[in-house]
Amino acid sequence: MRRITDLKEYFDKAAVYWDEKPGRIEMTNAVADAIAAHVELDPGMKVLDFGCGTGLVSMHIAPHVQTVYAADTSREMLNVLETKIATLDVANIKTMHLENTGIPSFHVGQFDLIITSMVLHHIASISPLLCHFVSWTRRGGHIAIADLEPEDGTFHTDSNGVSHNGIDTEWLRSELTALGCKTRISKSIFVTRRNPDESGTPRSYPLFLAAARKE
């Protein structure tokens, strides 16, 4: 597996053109819509967008909540987001540069909602991160996780930095349940089509949303 510094380097280099792919924008819109459909957003909410990238989801969520803390290990991704924040005069998105471990020191119950999109499949040990998410979420608060459903390993043309070929949603539900969350899994909230097969037909890669409420 590619070292974290190399993975950060990849995303740093990709940041400048990250928002240029229409399919990525379409996927982000679908994720943001799914989150809004499963979590009642309100103006008092403090939200953490973990692995925010260039803030595509953060920008959708921000108008409906008090504050979005947009956190990522890639400094260049955050630079792109900060340019958008300044250009659009967005006052309630605060960027946070994560260190190499990617695990910051947030307070217990600090957030009303934690969101993360297309991040878990890059995380080797997911369970400890889920523990942190639940700890950082207030009782009655929410965690929304969007990622790939299990796939055959063809989604990424370069598997470096990829720890899982999608996420087993029943395993994820079980993990969140054990941590005291009631979880609803929605399948195929969006289907990415890319990487044609031998016949030239693009393969389909569905995404899920796990919407968990901390009991």
The ranges assigned to domains in the chain are: 4-214
Tokens of 209: 């949303």
Residue 112, classed as helix, strand or coil, is strand
Q: pLDDT 10s per residue in the chain (215 long)?
A: 344 446 777 787 877 888 888 889 999 999 999 999 999 999 999 999 999 999 999 999 999 999 999 999 999 999 999 999 999 999 999 999 987 655 788 999 999 999 999 999 999 999 999 999 999 999 999 999 999 999 999 998 776 678 999 999 999 999 999 999 999 999 999 999 998 999 999 999 999 999 999 99
Which residues lie closer than 8 Å to 37 by C-beta, 6 or more apart?
none
Q: How many CB atoms lie within 10 A of CB 122?
A: 21
Nearest Cα neighbor of 37 from 60, 6, 19 is 60
DSSP 135-174: HHEEEEEEEEEEEEPP--S-S-SS-TT---SS--HHHHHH
Statement: 4-214 belongs to CATH 3.40.600.10? no
**Backbone angles phi and psi of 142, in degrees to 5:** -130, 150
**pTM, to two decimals:** 0.92
Which residues in 126-151 are b (16+ Cβ under 10 Å) and which e?
A: beebbebbbebbeeebbbbbbbbbbb
